Structures are given as C-alpha cells and as structure tokens.
Amino acid sequence: MTGDRRSFLRSMAGVGALTVLGGEEAGAAGSDIAADQLGVLVNCTVCVGCRVCEEACNAANEDLPRRPAGAFNDTSVFDHKRRMDSSTYTVVNLHHDPADPGTSTYAKIQCMHCLYPACVSACIVGALSREPDGPVVYDAAKCIGCRYCMAACPFQVPAYEYDNTLTPEVRKCTFCFEARLSKGEMPACVQSCPMQVMTFGRRTELLRLARKKMRKHPDRYVSHIYGETEVGGTSWMYLSGMSFEKIGLPKFGYHPVPGYTEPIQHALFKWFLPPLALCGSLGGVAWLMNSRKKRINAKSGEGKNDERG
Amino acid sequence: MSAGERAAPVATQFFTPGMLVLIAIMVGGVGWGLWRMIFSLASVTNLNDQYPMGLWIGVDVATGVALAAGGFTTSALVYIFQREHFHAVVRPALLTAMLGYTFVAIGLLFDLGRWYNIWHPTMPWMWQGNSVLFEVGMCVMLYLTVLYIEFVPIVCERFMGRVRLPGVLARFNDGVDIALRLADHVLGKVMFVFVIAGVVLSCLHQSSLGTLMVIAPYKLHPLYWSPLLPMLFLTSAIAVGFPVVIMESMISGRAFDRRSEMHILTPLATMAPYLLGAYIAVRFGDMLYRGSYVFLFEGSAASIVFWIEFGLLTIVPFFLFMSSDVRRSPGGLFTAALMYIVGVLLNRCAVIFIAYRPPYAEKAYVPAIGEFALTIGLIATIVFAYRLLVTLFPVLSTREYERNEP
C-alpha cells in the first residue's frame, strides 16, 4: 500500500501540471456544493446489527423487490461479508478485528454520496447527477447502460440489473431524495434506527458533532472521521472504534477522483485550441511537403502529380 | 494514383472451404448475440457488480479502436507527409478502419444495457462535457462518418460510367451516374479537409480512450494506472497502425493469391522502430517517475500480463523491426507485426479488466463462452465483409499484374 500512496503523490504532480494548463480547479467542475449541504454521520460504535435500517430501506424504496416477513431478522447473514446489489441499497456487516478476536464492530454501508462523485463525472449522458444539497441521484430515462459509473466509483457502490433484458437500471442508495428528503423527512434508515447510530443534518454541523464526540471519548474512537476528506469528502461519514480499513472502508487520499480526468479533458478542449492547433499544423505540414514535392518535380521535369487516390 | 498502380476489384472465387468455416463462426456469434438480446446480459456474460466491463469492452471496443489506427496513420503518411510510395496501402487500411469502427459500434450495442438509447449522447440536453466517455463517443461517431465519406470516391470510381440498375430502376441510370460524378468531383476538391479531420479526431479519441480509466486510480493496478494513460494509448495506437497494415497486406496477399507487397511493406516497417520506440520511452519514463516498477515481480495477474504484453510483445517486436533482415523477410515481418498486435490487444484488455482490481472482489472475472463466441463472431464478420468489399470495389492494388503486362 505504501507503494501505491507514494506513486499517487508523484502522479499528482503530473496532474497538477495539467491543471495549470487547463486553468480548472481540480475536480470542482460540474459539482455544485451548497455550503449548508446535508449529510449523515454513522457512529459504528453503537450499532448492534439489528438490520432494522435494511428493512426500513426496503420499505421506503417501493421499486425494490419485497422481502418475506422476517427476512431481516436473520442474523446468519453476518457469517460472510455482503455488498449492496441491484435489489439492496444498504447492508450491515459484522467485522471482527483479526488482531484482537474479542473485538468486533457492525458497519452499515450504502452510497457515500461523494462531494465530487466519480459516477456523475463519468456518466456519458448526465443520467447521474448531484443535488447541491448532497444526494447523488439517477435518471434511468437518460441512461444508456454503459456501466462506466460502476467502473469509476471508488467505493464500488452502483449495482446493475444484469438480468433485466430491456430496461436494466443502475441501482444505488438515493439518500431517499425523492421519497422523503423532498418532503422534509429524514432518510428511512436514519429514522428507523433504534440505537440512533446515524445522525442526519448539515454536514458542517455533523463534523463539529463528530469532533466533540472524539474529544469527549478519545478511548472510544479512532482519531479520524472517515469521509471528511476521502476522495474530496463524502456526505455520509463514519466514526469507528476499529480502524476503518478493518471495517471495510478503503484508505483513500484527499484528491477527488474526477480531479484526475477532468483537468485532462478540459485542457484538451480549452476553447477547442489544441484540436484546432493540430488541424493547423497538419495542414501546414501537408502544404510544405506538397510545395517541396512540386519544386523537386519541376527540377526533374517529370510533370504533375495526382492529388488523391 | 501513380502510373502502373491501380486498385481494382479482386476477381476470386468467393466461397472457399475457409469461408464456410468463417460463416460457421459468424453464425455462432449471431446466436450468442441474439441470446443476449432476448435473455439479458446475465444470461450470456460473466459480468457482475464488481467487474462492469469485460471482454466486449476490452476487445470489441478498446482493441478494435486501437487496431483501426492503420487508417489514420497511413492517410497521414500519404496525404499529409506526401509519401506517395505507400499509396497502395491507403485503401486497404481505410477499408479496415471503416469496418473496424463499424464493428466497434455494433459490438458496443451488445454490451450496452439500454442499447436503444445509444443516440442519447448526441442530444445537446444530455451532453456531459466532464465525461471522458462522452468525448470518446462523439469523436468515434464523427470519425466513423469521416471514414464513410473517405470511402465514397472508391464507390464512385467503381460505378461511374457503368450504372446498370435492374428493371424499372434503369431509367434512373443517368441520374445516378451524374450524382456519382458530382460526388467524386466535389469530394476530390475537399478531401484534404476530411483527411485532416480524420487524423485529428483519431488523435483525440485514441488518447481519450486511455483517459477513460484514469478515473479509477484506486482500482487499476499501479503498473497500469497512470495520468499518462492517454499519451500511452495514443502512442501505442500510432505504433500499431503500420503493423496492422503489414499483417493485413500479407494475409490478403495469401488469401487472394496476389504478389507480395514487400517493396512497400519493408519501407513501411522501417518507421515502426521509431513509433514503437516513442511508446516504449514514454512507458518506461512513466514507470520510473511513478516508481511503479516495484510491482514488477509481485506475481499478480497484472504483473504477469505486463511482462507478456510489454516485455515479450512490445519490446521484442521493437528489436525485430530494428533488424533489416527481419524487415526484408516476409516471415520475420509477419511475426514482428503479429506479436505487437497481440501485445496491444493484451494491453487494452489489461487496462479494461485484467489489471482492474475492485476493492470488494468476491470472485475473479473470467469471460464466459458466450462472450468469447460473440467477439470471435464479430471478428469473423469483419473478415467476411473485407473479403466481400474487396471483390466489389477497387481497394486492393493490382500493380504487379499491370507491370507484367507488355
């Protein structure tokens, strides 16, 4: 991993140079972030793995397949690590500390709703977009089904309906944007939690709250808020007693991932200058070569050349 | 076209035993393709939520685009750098590029979940200027149009003065003939615009195809992820252009029992070491600068495929092309060209799925039989269409035969 990190730091120098060329704030293009944008703070240390949030999520999102009664009471699902799929927007996993087998933590996962979402930057038709308030939402009517969003997402969140022949959709947590947030309600999972693992609110206030908790109980939390700076920051953030890598949240740098591609693209198409310059220089070369050939032909007196085939 | 060098339709028996095998492969591909269209992606492919892009994107799209680079490199060589000597390879390279890109689009239709929305990126209200894929899509679409326009004079040449429409349509013979002459005349005047546009569009999307995976720095293996991926894709595509032309000329020479074009291919190959050398230099420099060489001996799939595609199938052909003995020997030249072509194929597959490491991979992605069958079926269809079109249109040069005439 150290090799990875070092190479990223170095390559950022290269991207930085391109950024200067493009004159763009890396990763800022296309993202409209409200100063008081929303977020959720997930405190893994109080989660008991009851899966009520999973049930509430399924109930709130009516387009998800219904589950039989009692399906969410099954605790045997914790025997292995689960991921979201095209019929599940959130799952809770149980993580044991390999170094200290007595210690374990439940962690709920769902779309992180990045501040600089790679899926939104990648999408060829703008089917994925970011609300200034935070939610990253999907419009199936625009989607062409290329799945580039899935390749781009560093958290490997979007899932696909591979078994749907005609109208497959990219599926992921919606932040309950249309079903609840737009009506002034909080996300279903947040409201359902009996342990109040999740706190919904303004992202800036959540960060303040997280720091307060960490100051008050430094023994209870690792000293890092996951999602504060990862890949430029996320709307969903985590507090944990176990290191984040052990609860399945990967170690990421602070640089937003669209910040690697967008400066290249924007530099390449700055006022269409680079493509036009290439056109011009190719035309110039052709003209030079042609006049040279004419000179040579005039000398040897061979007559004219054909222009094309 | 200079004297003694004319392109003409190939006179050959179209259906041979080899063609029947080819048609069988095509039918197999069509079967799997139909199966995918009727019973969904899941019924044919091994794609999943961890590996959203597989063999079809790696080979049909990424490799297809790279190997079609012969079209713009030869037209730049002949029309921009005015190397008339290579005129005979322009038309076959143009046909290969036209077919290659056409089948990139057809192959993509099988991979897209909502293939019937493929026109969406062209609608201004869905334009997404931050998306690398948007630029690739637009450039490929425009370039495909340019390729068709560049092919129009060949169609005109074939039918001007011999339009013979069947039955009642015969009354339109004169009108069609005038239209062909007009198209030929106008295109003859403005073709340089399309030639330059073709080269520029090619440079843009060949490089942006590399930018595509720059957005996945945490997923692509460090031996493959680099902010210089666009540069690497562009230089490797330019380098593979002439080897593709060489291989194609040698295969079509064998298939149609034509005289070899070694007098063109050997000088064409002298440029290969420079173009390959530029690509190798950029890749070495990038590896040294980022320090990614520390992963060379870790034994992962990515490191093994790196040794094969870069060590064996890029650097070795580079040295082969350097040798004038190899360049003059048909067998040596064919071997060197084929090695680097396979190298590019593996490189594109590595960037799209072999070196792609999703953080929560549950199981490795291995393409399903149906994925291989459709890909091979599409390649067979390209070969079939190539054979058909060179028998219908003046594409391949008949220089040697004319020279032998008294």
d(CA A169, CA A182): 22
B344 is in which domain, residue-wise? 46-367
pLDDT of residue A100: 87
**pLDDT score of A270:** 86
> How many Cβ pairs closer than 8 A exist between chain A and B?
225
**pLDDT value at position A101?**
82
What is the model's pLDDT at position A23?
37
The alpha-carbon gap from B114 to the nearest alpha carbon of chain A, in Å, equals: 5
* A229, A131: one domain: yes
In a domain, B32, yes or no: no
The tens digit of pLDDT for each residue in B109-159 reads: 999 999 999 999 999 999 999 999 999 999 999 999 999 999 999 999 999
Q: Please give the residue of chain B at the shortest CA–CA distance from A2.
A: B294
Q: Name which of A21-30, A140-149, B159-168 the model is least confident about.
A: A21-30
Q: How confident is the model at residue A301 (pLDDT cuts 50, 70, 90)?
A: low
CA distance, residue A217 to nearest chain B CA (Å): 31
A87 shares its domain with A136: yes
Is the confidence at residue B345, as pLDDT, over 60? yes
Residue A19 has pLDDT above 80, yes or no: no
Sign (positive or negative) of CA dihedral B149, B153, B155, B159: positive
Across the interface, of A7, A144, A151, the residue whose CB is closest to B118 is: A144
Choice among A8-22, A104-118, B217-231 with the minimum mean pLDDT: A8-22
**Is position B76 within any domain?**
yes
Identity of the residue in B52, B192, B230 whose CB atom sits nearest the CB atom of A286: B192
- Could you tell me the residue range of the domain that residue A295 belongs to? 273-300
Q: What is the ipTM of this complex?
A: 0.93
**pLDDT above 60 (res A26):** no
Return the exposure string of B200-218: e unless at least 16 CB atoms fall within 10 Å of the residue's CB, then b. bbbbbbbbbbbbbbbbbbb
Residue A288 in this model has a pLDDT that exceeds 50: yes
pLDDT in tens, A138-147: 999 999 999 9
Does the residue A72 lie in any domain?
Answer: yes
Q: Please state, in angstroms and rounded to a whole number, the distance separating the CA atoms of residues A268 and A22.
A: 8
Q: Given this model, what pLDDT does residue B25 score?
A: 97
Q: Provide the pLDDT for residue A1.
A: 38
Q: pTM score, two decimals?
A: 0.92
Residue B399 has a pLDDT of 53
Q: Nearest CA of chain A to the CA of B313: how many Å?
A: 26
| pLDDT band at B361; cut points 50, 70, 90 | confident
**Identity of the residue in A30, A145, A163 whose CB atom sits nearest the CB atom of B112:** A145
| C-beta atoms of B82 and A286 within 8 A | yes
Tell me the pLDDT of chain B averaged across its residues: 94
Query: Per the CB < 8 Å rule, is A3 touching B222?
Result: yes
Q: Kindly state whether residues A260 and A279 are assigned to the same domain.
A: no
* Residue B13 covered by a domain: no
pLDDT at A32 over 60: yes
Q: Of A3, A122, A156, which has the smallest distance from its Cβ to B131's Cβ?
A: A122
Are A141 and A283 in the same domain? Answer: no
String of DSSP letters for B174-239? HHHHHHHHHHHHHHHHHHHHHHHHHHHHHHHHHHHHHHGGGG-TTTB-TTT--TTHHHHHHHHHHH
Chain B residue at shortest CA distance from A257: B215
Q: Same domain, yes or no, for A278 and A251?
A: no
Q: How many domains does chain A have?
A: 2
Question: What share of chain A in percent tops pLDDT 70?
Answer: 87
The answer to the question of residue B405 being in a domain is no
In this predicted model, what pLDDT tens digit does every residue of B278-308 receive, in sequence order? Answer: 999 999 999 999 999 999 999 999 999 999 9
Domain presence at residue A117 = yes
Answer whether residue A20 shows pLDDT above 60. no
Quick one: A45 and A135 in the same domain? yes
Distance between CA B101 and CA B70 in Å, rounded?
A: 12
Mean pLDDT for all residues in chain A: 88
Residue A30 has pLDDT above 50, yes or no: no
**H-helix or E-strand spanning residue B253:** helix B229-255
Give domain status of residue B212, yes or no: yes
The predicted model gives A56-85 an average pLDDT of: 93
pLDDT tens figures, A161-207: 999 999 999 999 999 999 999 999 999 999 999 999 999 999 999 99
Is residue A296 exposed (0-12), middle (13-18) or buried (19+ Cβ within 10 Å)?
A: exposed
Q: Taking 60 as the threshold, does the pLDDT of residue A14 lie above it?
A: no
Instruction: Decide if A306 is inside a domain.
Output: no
CA torsion through residues A230, A234, A239, A241, sign: negative
Is a pLDDT exceeding 60 seen at residue A12? Answer: no
A14 and A125 both lie in a single domain: yes
Cβ(B225)–Cβ(B217) below 8 Å: yes
Distance in angstroms (rounded) separating the CA atoms of residues A46 and B37: 48
Question: pLDDT above 70 covers what percent of chain B?
Answer: 97
Q: Say yes or no: A126 and A185 in one domain.
A: yes
The CATH number that applies at residue A94 is 3.30.70.20
Tell me whether residue B318 is in a domain.
yes
| CB contact at 8 A, B224 and B292 | no
Q: CA of B312, closest CA in chain A: separation in Å?
A: 25
Same domain, A71 and A130: yes
Within a domain: B138: yes
- Rounded to an integer, what distance in angstroms lies between the CA atom of residue A150 and that of residue B341? 29
Looking at the structure of chain B, the number of domains it has is: 1
pLDDT at A22 over 60: no
Does residue B8 fall inside a structural domain?
no
Same domain? For A137 and A282 the reply is no
What whole-number distance in Å separates Cα of residue B116 and Cα of residue B213? 25
Give the pLDDT confidence score for residue A31 in this predicted structure: 55
Same domain for A290 and A159, yes or no, is no
A195 and A290 housed in the same domain: no
Count of Cβ atoms closer than 10 Å to residue B284 Cβ: 13
